[in-house]
Structure 1
Amino acid sequence: MFRVLIPIAAALLLAACGGEAPRVPITPKKEPAAEVGYATPPMVSRIETTAAGVILTGSAPAGAPVRLASPEGASLSASADNKGVWRLTMAPAATPRLFGLSTTQGARTIQAQGYLLLTPEGLGYQLRAGAGAIRIGTVAAPAITAFDFDREGAAMVSGVAPAGTAITVRADGRQSADGRATAAGRFAISLTQPLTPGVHVIKVFNDGAEKSATIDTSPAASLTDGPFRSSGTPAGLRVDWMTPGGGVQSTVIID
């Protein structure tokens, strides 16, 4: 699994986003059963770019306040309606942005899982510590949507495929993992062996279809200027970001 290193700056993004986010294991787990006191965290379900700006639509407990906060300290607020739907509108930006999403229930602050990444093109991704990034909204299947890895070479490929179909992942021609798309048509599959630093060809086979991406897994440099850094790569946007546990994870958004 992804190993976690603890730099001094680990709390920067968490403080900016209003609290401590939950840690997420690299192996996806089933949703927890309902329990006394459990509160559903807020989430973003749709992102639209319009003349009015970037519109985020999501869910939260009915009537609950919702807060979207950036590492720089800026924040936007909304309230879920009686059906648990909330909306926020923000100005577009020329650079990638990272946000923490939270709600409150009484004296409790409930963080969304991971962080919200917004690209200049108006696409949204849920970045998850120790797990694969999730593209927000509808994506035509099959597709590789993201590739996550850490400094130790542990990696996970994420994407969309027909619901329930079997998936095989190969790295540099070698079979590296098997999995299956969920009922929602998404997959996040961990590679069985760490990848060495450098360029690798990742191929995903599903029901006769093949998708590939060429990824540079060079370890992320230290985050000295903030809790995340973005850069362009031939495969797509790369974001090196600090996890809640203090490690550095790299997410490549596949074009």
Structure 2
Amino acid sequence: MAGCEKADPQGGADGPFLATNMGYIRAPEILKVTIGGNGVVKISGVARPDGRVRLTSRQGQAFGVTANARGEFVADLPNDSNGNLYDVSMEESGRLMKAEGRLFVPTGQPERAVFMRSGSPSLPLSPHAPLLAVVDYDRLGGVAVAGRAKAGAVVALGVNGADVARVKADEAGLYSAILPLRQSLVGQAVMLTAQSEGAVDARTVELLAEPGEMDSIQPAEAAWKVHWLLPGGGSQTTMVY
């Protein structure tokens, strides 16, 4: 995330999966996570119409579903006792097109599920996510945040009591930002705040330089901590509140 520009939060096209004149097709997107009957986790999203979507856990279990004629799909996943990470992909002409990130579903808390993106803020999938829902950081000192506010509202972001950025929530209330920091805060306990229309959400986050050899999930009372390896090398840590 250090040195990266703010990424487009899985949007920008006129609709899901519009092919360009070069034949490029966007990868599948996860839109919502809920709990169904018998504790099954239901993953809703969009893909290419009639496309075959695959979700693969970090243990190698694969779950497949076919999108309907409008590109909508719903996949059922087990409610893993430790939470789980999933790679999301779509079969296209005999090859897999991977989504640019990974899905994290906390155990028994689908309302806190996030789509984690490499070098960018993770996206909280619930419309009821808190104002400061996710904090991402990497070993180079990049820090990103995301959450939910009122549609179109301005969100003021602060670090240790100082305002550092202002962003505008989209029509669904989702905002995200990579914080413009002058120096690395790795190794420090940092107070991050988000303020919008009288509401304030604050988190104290200890930005530890995690080892990058493997994925790990650590549940806690206040937050889930997910340390995950990036497809292009390196690692990222995601705090889910």
User: In the alignment, what sits opposite 1:31?
Assistant: 12
Among residues 27, 32, 43, which one is paired with 1:46 in the alignment? 32
Are 1:134 and 2:119 an aligned pair? no
Residue 212 of structure 1 aligns to a residue whose secondary structure is strand
2: CA distance between counterparts of 1:161 and 1:34?
32
Residue 79 of structure 2 aligns to a residue whose secondary structure is coil
User: In the alignment, what sits opposite 1:12?
Assistant: none
Deviations 1:73-124 (A, max 9, x none): 2101111112222222122111021111111222342212210111102422
Are 1:82 and 2:69 an aligned pair? yes
Among residues 70, 88, 95, which one is paired with 2:82 in the alignment? 95
Letter in 1 for 2:159: A
1: CA distance between counterparts of 2:79 and 2:100?
24
Tell me if the contact between 1:215 and 1:235 (Cα under 8 Å) persists in the aligned partners.
Answer: no
Among residues 106, 111, 126, which one is paired with 1:119 in the alignment? 106
2: CA distance between counterparts of 1:232 and 1:90?
19
Which segments of 5 or more consecutive residues in structure 1 lack a partner in the other structure?
A: 4-24
Letter in 1 for 2:237: S
User: In the alignment, what sits opposite 1:60?
Assistant: 47
User: In the alignment, what sits opposite 1:143?
Assistant: 131
Letter in 2 for 1:158: A
User: In the alignment, what sits opposite 2:153?
Assistant: 165
2: CA distance between counterparts of 1:244 and 1:74?
19
Deviation of 1:54 (Å): 1.4
Tell me if the contact between 2:58 and 2:84 (Cα under 8 Å) persists in the aligned partners.
Answer: no
Are 1:215 and 2:196 an aligned pair? no
Tell me if the contact between 2:104 and 2:115 (Cα under 8 Å) persists in the aligned partners.
Answer: yes
Are 1:229 and 2:181 an aligned pair? no
1: CA distance between counterparts of 2:168 and 2:79?
36
Residue 27 of structure 1 aligns to a residue whose secondary structure is coil
User: In the alignment, what sits opposite 1:21?
Assistant: none
Which segments of 5 or more consecutive residues in structure 2 lack a partner in the other structure?
A: none
Tell me if the contact between 1:146 and 1:252 (Cα under 8 Å) persists in the aligned partners.
Answer: yes
Question: What is the TM-score normalised by the length of structure 2?
Answer: 0.87
User: In the alignment, what sits opposite 2:188?
Assistant: 198
2: CA distance between counterparts of 1:167 and 1:242?
30
Tell me if the contact between 1:144 and 1:158 (Cα under 8 Å) persists in the aligned partners.
Answer: yes
Deviation of 1:156 (Å): 0.8
Matched length: 229
Letter in 2 for 1:2: A
User: In the alignment, what sits opposite 1:2?
Assistant: 2
Residue 133 of structure 2 aligns to a residue whose secondary structure is strand
After the TM superposition, which of the residue ranges 66-75 and 29-38 deviates more from structure 2?
Answer: 29-38
Letter in 2 for 1:69: T
- The Cα RMSD (Å) is 2.0
Letter in 2 for 1:119: P
Tell me if the contact between 1:170 and 1:176 (Cα under 8 Å) persists in the aligned partners.
Answer: yes
Deviation of 1:217 (Å): 0.6
Deviations 1:13-70 (A, max 9, x none): xxxxxxxxxxxx5512373685121213212222221333112222111111111112
- Using CA pairs under 8 Å that are at least 6 residues apart, name the structure with larger relative contact order, 1 or 2: 1
2: CA distance between counterparts of 1:99 and 1:39?
21
Letter in 1 for 2:175: F
User: In the alignment, what sits opposite 1:180?
Assistant: 168
Deviations 1:124-155 (A, max 9, x none): 21000111111113215x61110000112210
